[in-house]
Structure 1
Amino acid sequence: MSKAIFPVFYAGNIAYYRGLMQSEVCFEICENFPKQTFRSRMLITGPNGSQLLAIPTVKTGLRRTMKDVKISYAEDWQKDHWKSLEASYRRSPYFEYYEHLFFPFYKEKKETLLEFNLELLDTILKILSLELPYSQSEKYSDYENDFRGHSFELKTEEIKQYTQVFNDRQEFAPNLSILDAIFNLGPQTTMLLK
């Protein structure tokens, strides 16, 4: 496996997790925090189509590194995100098996986005029985295998389609958060990562 640098995403999609599983991973925590990226956003599907869930961050007016980005609790985004996850996945085959593992992320308050994302990543890896030893960057550096600016998008034909909750009224959506696959496929999610 080759060493590669990755951003730390909020429950990234299948392509993101495929990349992680094929590399010796170093997470970039010293980059300037780029707004409007999947570092603070997650894409799910709901009754009305795709829905973007964004974690609000404390605005400082200054550039911040990823490790210094604090989560804002001025609005009750946790309640909104959890309601969206329930509305989208309550009827999925595995939601009830895993909800107790995800609910704390929408109840407890983490100080930084990095802490939130890494703890969520560790929970996802545990659910999928995957081992991913990783390191964190100590300074911003160039890497031969650099995925910091990568979009991690899949075309429909690049993924084995599985039944999603709203298949009766929507086309298959290939670039949703890995939570979509976990709630719909459970342990079989790992087959999508190969």
Structure 2
Amino acid sequence: MPAVLFELPYCPPAAFFAELLAADSLLLERHENYRKQTYRNRCLIVTAQGVQPLTVPVIDGNRSEKVRIDELEIDYRQNWIHRHWRTLQTAYGGSAYFEYYADYLHDIYVGKPQRLFDLNLAVLQLLLRCLRLPLPVEYTAEWQARYPAELVLDRRDWLSPKQLPDSPSGAGLQRAYRQCFGAEFVPGLSVLDLLFAVGPAAGTYLVPASWPAANLWPE
């Protein structure tokens, strides 16, 4: 498969990583302008109250869509790190592998990256290691609306929280697993949900798009 082109999300859904299984490299878009209400600054987790978004606030949110993504700064005037971490602890503190990964993720938060792109990249690099996906990561050199299909599989805005459950992030690109809350499997969540539940085996739950959906509980 050619390089896969994605925007850089925050704590991406499992489908993001499933799409990388057969890729030669990951190409990240760094010349686009920021877009609101996307996975660029939010992820979805499940709590006792149901699915909940975790959103990273950005400076000048009302005009931020005119700012290039790798220049967009995080708004630390809001105490979002405390809220995110407390929510993650409440939702996953009792899961089998939360403590296994918690310190690595917490170190990224307390480092307070200035820009959203830097935060997302640090989290992505951690998640690639956790999922054992040693994929080369490259960056776009300029903005291009289209790329040759034989060279680049363009997946920009392929995943969207607005389209759940019909977006690919909710369409079976992972095997179901036992989540912390609820009797029915909830698709489309951040891959953190998968990692905290099954730990080092998480990569085996990713399903390439070419495979039939395997929405079954593991044996």
| TM-score, with structure 1 as normaliser | 0.93
Runs of 4+ that moved beyond 4 A: none
The residue correspondences of 1:1-194 to structure 2 (distance < 5 A) are 1-23=1-23, 24-59=25-60, 61=63, 63-141=66-144, 142-143=146-147, 144=149, 145-151=153-159, 152-155=168-171, 158-168=173-183, 171-194=184-207
Cα shift readout 1:83-123 (whole Å, capped 9, x = no counterpart): 01001100110011111111113322101111101111111
Mapped to 1, the partners of 2:3 and 2:135 lie a distance apart of: 12
Report the CA distance between 1:55 and its aligned residue.
Answer: 0.2
Mapped to 1, the partners of 2:6 and 2:21 lie a distance apart of: 12
Please give the secondary structure, in 2, of the residue aligned with 1:44.
Answer: strand
Report the CA distance between 1:125 and its aligned residue.
Answer: 1.4
Q: Tell me, yes or no, if the aligned pair for 2:10 and 2:120 is still in contact at 8 Å.
A: yes
Please give the secondary structure, in 1, of the residue aligned with 2:19.
Answer: helix
Q: Tell me, yes or no, if the aligned pair for 1:159 and 1:192 is still in contact at 8 Å.
A: yes
Please give the secondary structure, in 2, of the residue aligned with 1:109.
Answer: coil
Report the CA distance between 1:180 and its aligned residue.
Answer: 0.2
Residue identity (%): 31
Question: How many aligned positions are there?
Answer: 191
**Unpaired stretches in structure 1, ≥5 consecutive residues:** none
| AA partner of residue 173 (structure 1) | V
Q: Tell me, yes or no, if the aligned pair for 1:8 and 1:117 is still in contact at 8 Å.
A: yes
Q: C-alpha root-mean-square deviation of aligned residues, in Å?
A: 1.5
Mapped to 1, the partners of 2:41 and 2:120 lie a distance apart of: 8
Report the CA distance between 1:158 and its aligned residue.
Answer: 5.0
Instruction: Select between 178-187 and 146-155 the one with higher mean Cα deviation.
Output: 146-155
| TM-score, with structure 2 as normaliser | 0.82
**Unpaired stretches in structure 2, ≥5 consecutive residues:** 160-167, 208-219
Report the CA distance between 1:5 and its aligned residue.
Answer: 1.3
Q: Tell me, yes or no, if the aligned pair for 1:30 and 1:67 is still in contact at 8 Å.
A: yes
Cα shift readout 1:131-173 (whole Å, capped 9, x = no counterpart): 0111011111122321112124223x553210101135xx211
Q: Tell me, yes or no, if the aligned pair for 2:175 and 2:206 is still in contact at 8 Å.
A: no
Mapped to 1, the partners of 2:37 and 2:181 lie a distance apart of: 26
| AA partner of residue 26 (structure 1) | L
Report the CA distance between 1:193 and its aligned residue.
Answer: 2.1
Q: Tell me, yes or no, if the aligned pair for 1:18 and 1:193 is still in contact at 8 Å.
A: yes
Please give the secondary structure, in 2, of the residue aligned with 1:153.
Answer: helix
Q: Tell me, yes or no, if the aligned pair for 1:95 and 1:183 is still in contact at 8 Å.
A: yes
| AA partner of residue 158 (structure 2) | H
